[in-house]
Amino acid sequence: MSELDNRWSLPAGTSRASAGRRLRTVSLKRLKVRENMLAYAFLAPSLLLFGVFMFYPLLRSVYLSLYSTDPAGRVASFVGLQNFTALFSSGLFLDGIRVTALFALLTVPAGMLLALVLAALTHNLLRGKRLFQFAFSLPMVLSVGSAAVIWKFLFHPSLGMLNSGLELAGLVPVPWLTNPKWALLSVSLMTVWMNLGFNYIVISSGMQGIPDDMYESAKIDGAGPVAMFRQITIPLLSPTLFFVLVVSIISAFQSFGQINILTQGGPMDSTNVFVYSIYREAFVNFRFGTGSAQALLLFVVIMLLTLVQFKWVERKVHYQ
Amino acid sequence: MKRFGFRRLRFGRGMILVLAMFMAVLAGCGGNTGANTEATNTSSNNESSSDKGTDNTAAAPVKITWWHSMSGSGEKAINKIVTDFNASHPGIQVEAVYQGKYDESLNKLKASLGSNSGPDLMQVYEIGSKFMIDSKMITPVQKFIDEDKFDLSSLEPNIIRYYTIGGQLNAMPFNTSNPILYYNKDAFKAAGLDPENPPKTFEEYEAAAKALSKNGKPGAAIAIYGWFMEQLFANQNAEYVNGGNGRDQAATESLLASDAGVKTLVWWKKMVDEKAVANLGRDTDDTDSAFAAGQVAMTLDSTASLRKIVDAVGGKFKVGTGFLPRPEGVKEGGVVVGGASLYIMNNKPEEEQKAAWEFIKYVASPEVQAEWSVSTGYFPITKAAYDQQVLKDNVAKFPQFQTAVDQLHASSASNATSGAVMGIFPEARQIVEGAIEEALNGKKEPKKALEDAAAQITDKLKQYNATVK
């Protein structure tokens, strides 16, 4: 600002006002550039990180997706859009999307509902509240890797604890991970459990943010607990629920660790979610071309999905 | 409130792009971070070693790095071999680095290509042979054998046959195994079967499995492991790919859906349907543990697991071993050598390659091979090892070890039993495992499942051959 004053005072001695006006606009333009530069300087560190870890890999993926690679992963020759057409014609793309969508469908609603119910039940608890809160958020402290290894033992076809429990109860043991009909369900079960900690913490803290006087006045108006839950808790919790929904869907689309450890995409590709098939194509079979093509398609799918969420689902969200 | 919501929406639009990008990038990065960090970890070692390697005048020992994939008792044995070698060869320092399972370590090797961070000596599983040759990143050990006039006559001919590709030995076999039948002698007796006479044919295997099953609980288990399919092909003297099993010329077509394959898979599926054989998934660890716990009385696995299985069983029951079964009436054929071999990488200085060869010679000596065999269950690559006292003692203690050796010697010599050669073998194995799953789960008829898998493998072979010059 002080600089602007200086410039303004310079032409004060001259008689023509129009010259002063011109000078003023020039200096304003300069000022704007200067301000922008400053903004970019502040943005530089994050732009650099984004550039190195996002934009460069993205451009590189586009480049790789148009080439074929030799068995050691070195670029071999230009193939145009062949990698993309191969994905569609071999069904790799549609199968991957189908399994991933199914996986999201099995994990997201169940995980959110379970966390919501548990949070609602513990919210008004007078005794042992801390204990239950601690127990329900516990899965969060485990990494995907260790959680998956634990569940692998539980799911073990002949020595697993789940099957021996079923046998004790006189039921038929379940081929948890070895039967294509069960495998995705088993992995989803484990994922729901694993995500419960995070969902529970976010939802119950969202519940704590709802002011008590609302409940009190509702109670005076004669509302029962179910009505209060439906008319007050859910609408006021909707921003939190929306957040959990978006994050859950993204994490469902990103799931990799538990699948790599529990099933490796098998049996019969029944758990071969999209990210896992990208991994297999690129880093096991060393076909970076098709791998990159798959990654770009996933990018498009997720962009559309997120767009839908923000455009339609967010309308139902009630911001206070 | 309305304005607030609108602003959020605008903020949201920007977020969509960033979120989506973030996802795509994360998806892409997931797998290779591990490989990269490993590669950089070892790179510092290598730089220092190459510095010393080129410095001839100094008395400092030549340092070489060896990447291997042996864990558990194998890793212990390897560390002992390396320590003994370093103590007895003051001019050379070998550093053994465990790089994960065969697949993982091969992937790390691929990731290290074009940089100096790779090893001097690399242990690669048998199905990686063709890839290693085509990658042009190795110095065939034949070069050193010729220079050194190294005598190969004492090595097992079947093993040398496997690794001789294109008329020369590209790698020195190190740990070799083959699949055998494991059975529970006590359970055999209880089921009225002869505990000293394990099933030899598909038909006998099926009958025994049925006898061992009760109350709908299968008496045997076979892991869905592509290696078994390859071995059962060889056991019927059937080739796995064309071009003389890929040995006379580069394979262009998979022969998976041939009679041998269909016969095998029909047999396998029938036993699963009859609840005589359990489907416990792809992992042999799971079938081994079911066997060791006495839940199934018969299973197939590599000889390399013998020590582990016998230890896990303890004294609970007597473990018997037998040959891999084959269909009735098949006379010819045998097992293919499994396991891994040692490659000398060609991007290292001459001196380091020579040092690696010195180490290979040491590892192939009868003394080391006998010791190695006793502590792991892999059989020795040299016949002279059988004269070593420790091996004699071991066979007396665990007569089961003898089965694999006898089975190896009983195999007839042909392209089929020499083992298939193809560059995409690891991927082909996954495809075959998928086909077996499809058949066992009733999604496709065995013949159809094999035909589809064969078509896929043929397609991948075409792609591979197009990118390799």
Would B6 be classed as within a structural domain?
no
The tokens describing B453, both together, are 């898998």
Which segment, A266-275, B1-10, B253-262, is predicted with the most confidence on average? Answer: B253-262
Q: CA angle, corner B181, sides to B275 and B442, nearest 5?
A: 30
CB B180 within 8 A of CB B323: yes
What b/e readout covers B48-68, taking b as 16+ CB neighbours within 10 angstroms? ebbeebeeeeeeebbbbbbbb
| Segment holding B124, helix H or strand E | strand B121-125
Separation in Å, CA B307 to CA B50, B72, B374? 39, 11, 9
Instruction: Report the pLDDT value the prediction gives residue A254, as an integer from 0 to 100.
Output: 85
How far is it, in rounded angstroms, from Cα A201 to Cα A137?
Answer: 6
Q: Are B124 and B103 in contact (CB under 8 A)?
A: no
> What residues of B are in contact with residue A156 (Cβ under 8 Å)?
286, 289
Q: What DSSP designation does B412 have?
A: P
Residue A292's closest chain B neighbor by CA? B28
Contact (CB, 8 A) for B97 and B68:
yes
User: Which domain-ending residue is among B367, B394, B411?
Assistant: B411
The alpha-carbon radius of gyration of chain B (Å, integer) is 25
Cβ distance B62 to B53 under 8 Å? yes
pLDDT single digits (tens) A47-96: 999 999 989 999 999 999 999 888 777 788 888 898 999 888 888 888 88
Q: Is B275 left (phi over 0), alpha (psi -120 to 50) or beta?
A: left
- As a whole number of angstroms, the distance between CA A188 and CA A102 comes to 10
Mutate which: A47, A273, A280, A286, vs B, most B CBs within 10 A: A286
Side-chain half-sphere CA neighbours of B286 within 13 A? 25
Distance CA A216, CA A211 (A): 9
Amino acid at B317: F
CA distance B166 to B150: 19
DSSP run (H or E) holding B33: helix B32-54
* Annotated domain spans of chain A: 2-65, 87-316
Residue B147 is encoded by which pair of tokens?
């220079």
Task: Report if residue B433 sits inside a domain.
Answer: yes
Given a cut of 60, whether residue B49 has pLDDT beyond it is no
CB A92, CB A244: distance < 8 Å: no
Locus of tokens 């370093």:
B86
Chain B residue with minimum CA distance to A54: B25
Q: Percent of chain B scored above 90 by pLDDT?
A: 56
Q: B279 contacts in A (CB within 8 Å)?
A: 175, 178-179
* Residues spanned by the domain of B245: 179-335+417-467
CA distance B275 to B245: 34
What does DSSP assign to residue B215? T
Q: Scanning the structure block, which residue is given the tokens 């190695």?
A: B372
Question: Is position B440 within any domain?
Answer: yes
Residues B198 and B171 in one domain: no
At A5 the pLDDT is: 47
Among B6, B17, B26, which would you mutate to test the A interface (most chain A Cβ atoms within 10 Å of its Cβ)?
B26
- For B117, other C-beta atoms within 10 Å of its C-beta total 22
pLDDT exceeds 70 at position A8: no
| Position A144 pLDDT exceeds 50 | yes
H or E element at residue B176: strand B172-177
Q: Over the stretch B132-161, which tens digit does the pLDDT of each residue have? A: 998 888 999 999 999 989 988 889 888 998
Q: What pLDDT is attached to residue A320?
A: 64
More confident residue, B163 or B41: B163
What φ, ψ does residue B201 adopt, rounded to 5°? -115, 165
CB contact under 8 A, B295 and A307: no
Percent of chain A whose pLDDT exceeds 70: 92
Distance CA B297, CA B307 (A): 17
Q: Are residues B222 and B317 in the same domain?
A: yes
**CB-CB contact of B407 with B180 (8 Å):** yes
Nearest CA among B392, B277, B308 for reference residue B74: B308
In whole angstroms, give the CA distance from residue A27 to residue A23: 6
Rounded-to-integer distance, Cα B21 and Cα B42, Å: 32
Give the residue carrying structure tokens 């084959």.
B326
- CATH value at residue B34: 3.40.190.10
Cβ neighbours of residue B308 closer than 8 Å, sequence gap 6 or more: B72, B73, B288, B377
| Structure confidence at residue B32 as a pLDDT band (50, 70, 90) | very low
Cβ–Cβ contacts within 10 Å for residue B265, how many?
A: 25
Q: Is the domain of B281 the same as that of B250?
A: yes
Query: Are A274 and A210 within 8 A, CB to CB?
Result: no
Residue B213 domain-assigned (yes or no): yes
pLDDT digits (tens, 9 = 90+) for B83-140: 999 999 999 999 999 999 888 898 889 888 778 889 999 999 999 999 899 888 899 9
Radius of gyration for chain A, computed over Cα atoms and rounded to the nearest angstrom: 28
pLDDT confidence of residue B18 = 52
Q: Is residue B1 part of a domain?
A: no
Q: What distances in angstroms separate CA A200 from CA A151, A210, B151, B424, one per listed residue?
A: 20, 16, 69, 46
A295 vs chain B: nearest CA distance in angstroms? 6
Tokens 């060889």 map to which residue? B234
Tell me, what's the pLDDT at A61?
Answer: 92
Q: How many CB pairs under 8 A join A and B?
A: 153
Structure pTM?
0.79
- A123: closest CA of chain B, how far (Å): 28
Minimal C-alpha gap between A76 and chain B (Å): 6
CATH 1.10.3720.10 for domain A87-316, yes or no, is yes
CB contact under 8 A, A156 and B103: no
Same domain, yes or no: B381 and B459: no
Q: How would residue B360 be classed by pLDDT, with cut points 50, 70 and 90?
A: very high
Residues B271 and B307 in one domain: yes
CB atoms within 10 A of CB B444: 17
- Spell out which residues of chain B touch residue A159, defining contact as CB-CB under 8 Å: 289-290, 293, 295
- What confidence tens digit (pLDDT) does each residue in A222-260 have? 888 888 888 888 889 998 999 999 889 988 998 999 999
DSSP chain A: -HHHHHHHHGGGGSS-HHHHHHHHHHHHHHHHHHHHHHHHHHHHHHHHHHIIIIIHHHHHHHHHHTEEE-TTS-EEEE-TTHHHHHHHHTTHHHHHHHHHHHHHHHHHHHHHHHHHHHHHHHHT--SSHHHHHHHHHGGGGS-HHHHHHHHHHHH-TTT-HHHHHHHHTTPPPP-TTTSHHHHHHHHHHHHHHHHHHHHHHHHHHHHHTS-HHHHHHHHHTT--HHHHIIIIIHHHHHHHHHHHHHHHHHHHHH--HHHHHHTTT-STTTT--HHHHHHIIIIIS--HHHHHHHHHHHHHHHHHHHHHHHHTGGGG----
Confidence at A3, pLDDT banded by 50, 70, 90: very low
Residue of A nearest to B130 (CA): A71
Residues B322 and B348 in one domain: no
pLDDT tens digit sequence for B369-413: 999 998 888 889 998 998 999 989 988 888 888 888 899 889 988
Distance between CA atoms of residues B401 and B381, nearest Å: 14
Query: Is residue B3 included in any domain, yes or no?
Result: no
Question: B59 pLDDT band (50/70/90 cuts)?
Answer: low
User: What is the average per-residue pLDDT within A139-148?
Assistant: 90
Cα separation values, A151 from A193, B172, B248, Å: 10, 40, 47
Q: Which is more confidently placed, B46 or A152? A: A152
What length is written for chain A?
A: 320
User: Using a CB-CB distance cutoff of 8 angstroms, which residues of chain A are in contact with residue B442?
Assistant: none
Query: Which chain A residue shows the shortest CA-CA distance from B466?
Result: A70
DSSP B413: P
Is residue A18 scored above 80 in pLDDT? no
ipTM of the complex: 0.72
Pairing of strands B220-221, B277-278: parallel
Nearest-by-Cβ selection for A299 from B9, B24, B113: B24
pLDDT above 70: residue B33: no
Residues A112, A113, A115, A118, Cα dihedral to 10°: 170
CB contact under 8 A, B290 and A264: no
Which of B395, B411, B427 is the endpoint of a domain? B411
Q: B379 and B314, same structural domain?
A: no
Task: Please tell me the total count of domains within chain B.
Answer: 2
Cα(A206)–Cα(B46) distance, integer angstroms: 54
A179 pLDDT higher than 80: yes
Contacts of A313 in chain B (CB under 8 A): none
Query: Is pLDDT of B16 > 90?
Result: no
Q: Is residue B8 part of a domain?
A: no
Closest Cβ opposite residue B12 in set A180, A250, A310 = A310
What is the DSSP code string of B289-356? HHHHTTS-SEEEEEGGGHHHHHHHHTTSS-EEEEPPPB-TT--S--PPPEEEEEEEETTS-HHHHHHH
Q: Do A295 and B295 lie within an 8 Å CB cutoff?
A: no
Amino acid (one-letter) located at B276:
A
Verify that B215 and B241 share a domain, yes or no.
Answer: yes
Mean pLDDT, chain A, as a whole number?
Answer: 86
Distance, in angstroms, between A99 CA and closest chain B CA? 16
Weakest-pLDDT range from A126-135, A180-189, B92-101, B338-347: A126-135
CA distance linking residue A252 with residue A239, whole number of Å: 20
Greater confidence (A21 vs B3) lies with A21
Kindly state whether residues B396 and B454 are assigned to the same domain. Answer: no
